[in-house]
Amino acid sequence: KGLLIDATYGRKTRAVLVMDSGQIVLSAIQPETVAHRLVQYDVDEDTVES
């Protein structure tokens, strides 16, 4: 079904993201970095809409 996305590119898994769609994403970056990027993306998106 394609519910697991491995975005580690062979590196050690450091974060597992569970998406609203039910997909699971494996990431090689720290959870704090993922959170910071999501917040920054949200801020940038709000700036573009204004």
The pLDDT assigned to 42 comes to 79
Find the distance separating the first CA and the last CA of the chain, reported in whole Å: 38
Q: Which tens digits make up the pLDDT trace of 24-33? A: 999 999 999 9
Give the Cα separation of 21 and 45 in Å (integer).
21
**pTM above threshold 0.85:** no
The pLDDT assigned to 4 comes to 97
Q: Are 7 and 28 in contact (CB under 8 A)?
A: yes
H-assigned helices in 2-30: none
Q: Which tens digits make up the pLDDT trace of 1-50? A: 779 999 999 999 999 999 999 999 999 999 999 999 888 887 777 776 65
> Side chain identity at 48, as an amino acid letter?
V
Sketch the domain layout of the chain as residue ranges: 4-49
The pLDDT assigned to 49 comes to 60
